[in-house]
Amino acid sequence: MTLRRRIAFLGAIGAVLLAPFAVPLTDDRALGPVGLSHPIGDFGSVLASQLDQPPLTGARFVGMETGPDRLIVLFFELRPYPYLGGRLAFLASRCVPPDRLDPWGMSGGFIDGDPATDSELAYLRSDAQPRCPNS
């Protein structure tokens, strides 16, 4: 093995070994929406555990959608170790104001394709949902 290949090989091993420490450093928990009852990082870790993701899965907040009946959908990109690829997922709640949201009380799932056309999200947005009391 040439010296160049050895250096490249050792660099690749170093990158894989350091990845668990590098990705959490890039996870900025302060970028979540204002007014949530918990830090946005708590929502991401609960989502990863609800979806049975492996340990060391990084959850990056991507965005939030609101709708009628206090529908709140939080979007995350979940990246399992070694963080080479990610998948879009969501947590959703209805009838609860943002300052009372509990990540353990929210439903979640993976998004297949575009969030605008995902069948589970389309159902959450639809009139088929029961109305909130006192709304």
If pLDDT is split at 50, 70 and 90, which confidence band does 134 have? Answer: confident
Work out the angle at residue 126's Cα, subtended by the Cα atoms of residues 125 and 131, and round it to the nearest 5 degrees: 95
If pLDDT is split at 50, 70 and 90, which confidence band does 30 have? Answer: very low
The strand pairing partners of 75, in sequence order, are: 63, 90
Whether the predicted pLDDT of 25 surpasses 60: no
pTM for this prediction: 0.76
| pLDDT tens per residue, range 91-107 | 999 988 888 999 999 99
Give the C-alpha separation, 132 to 126, whole Å.
13
Look up residue 130 and give its two tokens: 């029961």
pLDDT of amino acid 92: 92
| pLDDT tens per residue, range 105-128 | 999 999 988 888 888 888 888 888
